[in-house]
Amino acid sequence: MSDSSSPREVPVFVALDYASRAEARALVDDFGEYCTHYKVGLQLYLAAGRSFIEELVDLGKHVFLDLKFHDIPNTVRGAVIEAAKMGVDLLTVHASGGEEMVKAAVDAAHTTDFAMRAPKILAVTLLTSITQEQLGKLGYSVSTIPEQVALLSNLAKACGAYGVVCSANEIADVKRVSGLKAVVPGIRPAGFRSGDQARVAVPKIAIQNGADYLVVGRPITKAQDPLQALRAIQTEVTQALSEDAEMIQ
């Protein structure tokens, strides 16, 4: 979306976690040209299906389909091909599905007939809702969260993924081991409750840490004035990017 010679841009994907197409479409219409990037996850996909994704694509929006595939390689390959047909920009699989599965996803995205619009594959490392304690209960008690994220980022890179999903706390580890794009949910503007998110950061910190994309849901969709909440986040991102650029000069 931007090359290394152009100024750094960090798109904000608004997570449309709604139970109906009508609610999601109302927000998209309210935001108009203020928002060009939307994420569709399990809830809205199950409620509104492919046609809503195609509607967003037809509106010229960048669509991140966040269905987090985790299955045997052959099944994931088929699912990626079907997703590619909708013209989505980004698509998630769980890195913990293993090398063969992530490779199958990347290969499917690149061997599809829709090569011009091949979705970029993101590997989810550790969900931003996971704590160190929960990681231990999953049997990874020898690893810290940053170590586990680094390990899975390395795997994602070896498989040819475009990027990973991680929290703002692990971006440096991701960049160090893989150089992949960091797509960062768990964004909480100052004062907004964390809820079920465990590894959170304000937009400014995510930018300072090197995020390539932010993902924001409830701090926007549950705000009294969602457009105002979106604009405030966009302003914080723009300011942090210009402070960062000044530091580099």
Q: Which residue is nearest to ligand LLZGTKA7 (CB)?
A: 217
Of 46-54, 110-118, 124-132, 241-249, the segment contacting ligand LLZGTKA7 by CB under 6 A is 124-132
* Element spanning 124, H or E: strand 120-124
Shortest distance in whole angstroms from residue 5 CB to ligand LLZGTKA7? 30
Helix axes 42-58 and 21-31, enclosed angle (nearest 10): 50
Closer to ligand LLZGTKA7 by CB, 39 or 77: give it: 39
Exactly one of 216, 233, 237, 240 binds ligand LLZGTKA7 (CB under 6 A); which one? 216
What residues contact residue 22 under an 8 Å CB cut-off, 6+ apart? none
Is residue 214 close enough to count as binding ligand LLZGTKA7 by CB under 6 A? no
- Whether 52 has a binding-site annotation, put simply, is no
38, 89 Cβ separation under 8 angstroms: no
Q: What is the DSSP string of 194-215?
A: -TT-SS-B-HHHHHHTT-SEEE
Is residue 15 close enough to count as binding ligand LLZGTKA7 by CB under 6 A? yes
Give Cα 50 distance to the centre of its chain.
19
Is residue 240 close enough to count as binding ligand LLZGTKA7 by CB under 6 A? no
**Integer Cα distance of 148 and 80 in angstroms:** 25
Question: Of these residues, 3, 61, 71, 225, which one is catalytic?
Answer: 71
**Integer Cα distance of 152 and 159 in angstroms:** 11
Binding site for ligand LLZGTKA7 (CB under 6 A): 15, 17, 41, 66, 124, 127-128, 165, 185-186, 197, 215-219
Binding residue numbers for substrate: 17, 39, 66-75, 128, 188, 197, 217-218
The catalytic site residues sit at: 66, 68, 71
